[in-house]
Structure 1
Amino acid sequence: MIQRIQTLYLIVSALVMAALFIWFPTILGEDGSVLIERSEPLIFGLIFLSIIFAIVSIFSFKKRQSQFVINRLNILLNFVLLGVFVYRSLTLSGETLVSEKGIGVFIPIISIVFLVLANKAIKRDEDLVKSVDRLR
């Protein structure tokens, strides 16, 4: 399980999303007050689901097809989370600190990149198994 590169990619993806879960009030006002609090159930639900999908995908290493599908669902979930972040960022007033306004948007992008790399490695493993089956 751990010797496969896609497992390492999935672990990094889960850790990145866990860092977002811990780090999340991303948006502060001019006076230092938190504009988006931890009581946002949509955002925290999406982050938590993304972490759960990555962990489930890690432990379904014997079923490559289901692992591939779970990763695709996780990519879609991260795109939804990215859309929610962009929407929230664009609907905030202009009085927020620009440097902290959009920093949380990049974290789902990092997770998406690692999930795509994991899917490529899973596809490569699947093609290798199919080529060995053809030789028999």
Structure 2
Amino acid sequence: MIQRIQTVYLFLVLLVAGVLPFVFPLWKTDGKDFYFASSLTYSSLFGLSATLALLALLFYQKRQHQFVIDRLNIILNLILLGLFLYRSLNLSGEAANVSEKGIGMFLPFISIVLLVLANRAIKKDEDLVKSVDRLR
């Protein structure tokens, strides 16, 4: 489990989705930081993404299940990224309240990149196992 590179990628996704949203604010409005826990939608999506990453980590013996769970997690992070993009386009048009985007808005993008790398490694492992089975 630990010796495979997709485990490292999935663990990093777990950190990005489960820990870093507590550290980095999503945006600032009037000098106040807005964290993900302030909104039920963002909390549930980040929590679901972290849960899917943990579930994929636990399915290390079933590579097909890992692959499917990672694809679902990519779709979930794309939805989260779309919500952040929608919110950032609405933030830029404010005249009375000065807002700035935070680094937390890029966390789903980092998760997507790591999940794609994990899927690539899972696919490579699956192809290796299939080639060995052919030789038997």
Q: Is the TM-score greater than 0.5?
A: yes
Q: Contact (CA 8 Å) 1:27, 1:96: kept in 2 or not?
A: no
**What residue number does 1:27 align with?**
27
- For residues 76 and 42 of structure 2, the distance between their equivalents in structure 1, rounded to whole angstroms, comes to 11
- Report the counterpart of residue 110 of structure 1 in structure 2: 110
Query: What does residue 71 of structure 1 align with?
Result: 70
Residues 105 and 126 of structure 1: CA distance in aligned 2, closer, same or farther (over 3 Å): same
Q: What's the TM-score, normalizing by structure 2?
A: 0.89
Question: Offset of 1:26 from its aligned partner?
Answer: 2.0
**Aligned residues with identical type, % of pairs:** 54
1:19 shift after superposition:
3.2
Structure 2 counterpart of 1:127, which letter? Answer: D
- 1:13-92 equivalent positions in 2, closer than 5 A: 13-23=13-23, 25-30=25-30, 32-34=31-33, 38-92=37-91
Structure 2: runs of 5+ lacking an equivalent: none
Structure 1 runs (4+) greater than 6 angstroms displaced: none
Letter in 1 for 2:56: S
For residues 44-77 of structure 1, give each alpha carbon's deviation from its aligned partner in whole angstroms, at most 9, with x where no partner exists. Answer: 1000000000000001011100000000000000
Classify 1:22/1:88 alpha carbon distance in 2 versus 1 (closer, same or farther; 3 Å): same
User: 1:17-47 CA deviation, whole Å, 9 max, x = no partner?
Assistant: 12343135422123x1346773311111000
Distance in 2 (alpha carbons) for counterparts of 1:16 and 1:135: 40
Instruction: Assess if the C-alpha contact under 8 Å between 1:24 and 1:38 holds in 2.
Output: no
The aligned counterpart of 1:121 is: 121
CA pair 41-24 structure 1, distance change in 2 beyond 3 A: farther
- RMSD in angstroms over aligned alpha carbons? 1.8
8 Å contact kept, 1:50–1:78: yes
Residue segments in structure 1 that go unaligned for 5+ positions in a row: none
Q: 1:83 to 1:53 in 2, by over 3 A?
A: same
Q: 2:36 & 2:98 partners in 1: Cα distance? A: 14
Equivalent pairs, count: 133
Amino acid at match of 1:51: A
Structure in which a larger fraction of residues adopt strand: 2
SS of 2:74 mapped into structure 1: helix
TM-score, normalised via structure 1 length: 0.89
